[in-house]
A and B are shown apart, each in its own frame.
Chain A
Amino acid sequence: MSASLGGSTAIVGIGQTEFSKAAGRSETQLASEAIVAALADAGLTTDDVDGFVSYTIDPVSETELVRALGTPEVRWSSRVPYGGGGSQGVLLHAAAAVAGGAARVVVAYRAIKARSGARFGRAQVSSRATSSHEGSTAGQWCSPFGVLTPASWMALNATRYMHTYGVTSADFGRAVVQLRDYASTNPNAHFYGSPITLDDHQASRWIAEPAIRLFDCCQETDGAVALVITAADRAPDTPTPVIIAAAATAGLFEEEIASNHYRPNLEVMDGSVALAAQLFGAGISRADVDVAMIYDAFSPILLMQLEALGFCGFGEAKDFVADGNLAPAGLLPCNTNGGLIGEGYIHGLNLTVEAVRQLRGTAVNQLDAPHTALVSASRTGVILQRPS
């Protein structure tokens, strides 16, 4: 985002459905429920909405959504590729549309039936030459070798990371224990009331050895979340706005989505290095971040992002985590809803909703009046701030 866009837009409403393993209704219904809740939260109605943005992979058609919601006139819509890595890109798209005048009130949404519908974790051989939703050819070079799931794609990078910096499965496990601790006090989390020990983590079965055990994986989840974005100068008319201080996307040469196997040094998530250079380039520093939401589809990429985003040195995330820095009293309280591993996997957009709750002071694991929140989905990210 150019510096001139920073601060000119705001998230004014958040909404969601329950998160479950079997929603028992369509994604279009889930999205509609979350959007109506988000608009009510903002003190707005469907008549106010003139823009929609979601992921290319989201199954809910704008046309069907408009039919369900009764939205009178859509003036702008957009989709962001790269799956969950693109999740925070919906905020960049929405902010640019509002700041540029293409839309006045944009709804960003993600509806998913990742457990009762199409599961990401199923070992299926695709009959397509490209990803079903965004045209990447990466999968066709993995499928003939049995590299069929996001865990298997990412484990190749994570093993290299472990090799380079002497990281162990237990190092990842310490982060998971913290995430499960946050989830254990979050009634909306899949793992509510279910904390684990490091021994529990180490006893969970291998998915992709030596990097990913079962407890390192996010939860396949059914549900939907929605956020309402409008101009910052309209936001004071809404009950609890949060300013989009920065939003950015960094897609690098030869970088792929989860199957990023061709960049020279895979032990570094250099898309996140580039992302941080944009987010922290305009007057906000890492020291300003009071709470972080970091995309944790699998625990290794949480540690790798901590380093790439600059919160610790390369190879130091294992110590940063072991020192308790992700906990409420740590240097960087992180994924306070339990993250995608502990709360559920609405493909990363539930992390953004949690960031808004923290800044509003309404999170279940509420920190002491945070002012600045970072959400990183490795190649897309936002910095949100409480209005001063």
Chain B
Amino acid sequence: MTRPAPIVTDDNASFWEAARGGKLVAQGCRECGRLRHPPRPMCPECHSIQQETVELAGTGTVYSYAILHHPRNPAFTYPVIAVLVDLDEGVRIVSNLVGVEPADVRIGAPVHVTFETTADDMAVPVFEPDGPPA
């Protein structure tokens, strides 16, 4: 029942290194300041390859969701609540919502980040609702 470890590559290492340390980050362009997620090797705005790792507040709102029932993988607990979170800094992330009943998931709900461990002593950012369930 352990989550699979994320796959670390040259392009995404900064994100997963930060997650392991309990931080949610995005890539920022050192030239034009544009934030981007998922990471990529070049700024699509100005083509700079100079980048920095920007720590995010970890707050945002649920843009969309899906309660996943089937098929099942033994590494996860079902139903899995998959969410798209629009983070306050303007980037979107695929993640999970935890600490909430599936019936209480709402688009637009404010959420904040927390972390769950995975195999290989890594971690992934997941989200929980800000207040008590509506």
Kindly state the separation between the CA atoms of A299 and B84 in the bound complex, as whole angstroms. 21
Give the residues in chain A near B54, CB-CB below 8 Å. Answer: none
Q: Contacts A144-B4, A145-B124 given; indicate if A208 touches B94 (C-beta within 8 A).
A: no
**B49 in contact (CB, < 8 A):** no
Given A144-B5, A146-B82, A147-B94, A137 and B70 contact (CB-CB distance below 8 Å):
no
Interface residues on B, range: 35 or more
Contact of A207 with B75 in the complex, beta carbons under 8 Å: no
Complex alpha-carbon distance, A145 and B94, angstroms? 8
Interface residues in B71-113 by Cβ distance below 8 A to A read: 71-73, 75-76, 79-80, 82-84, 92-96, 102, 107
Beta-carbon contact of A148 and B73 below 8 Å = yes
Q: In the complex, what residue of chain A is closest to B106 when comparing beta carbons?
A: A163
> Contact: B11 with A137, CB < 8 Å?
yes
Asked whether B64 lies within 8 Å of A157 as measured between CB atoms, the reply is yes
CA of A13 to CA of B73, assembled, Å: 43
Q: How far is the CA of A215 from the CA of B11 in the complex (A)?
A: 39
Contact check, A159 vs B73: say whether CB atoms are below 8 A apart: no
Interface pair A206/B82, CB less than 8 Å apart? no
Q: Contact partner of B107 among A144, A159, A209, CB < 8 A?
A: A159
Chain B residues with CB under 8 Å of A126's CB are: 7
- A209 to B102 CA separation, bound complex (whole angstroms): 9
Complex-state Cα separation, A121 to B102, whole angstroms: 22
CB-CB under 8 A from B4, the residues of chain A are: 125, 143-144
The chain B residues found within 8 Å of chain A, CB to CB, are 3-7, 9, 11-12, 37-38, 44, 63-73, 75-76, 79-80, 82-84, 92-96, 102, 107, 118, 124, 126
Residues of A near any B CB (own CB < 8 A)? 121-129, 137-138, 140-149, 152, 155-160, 163, 205-212, 214, 253, 261-262, 266
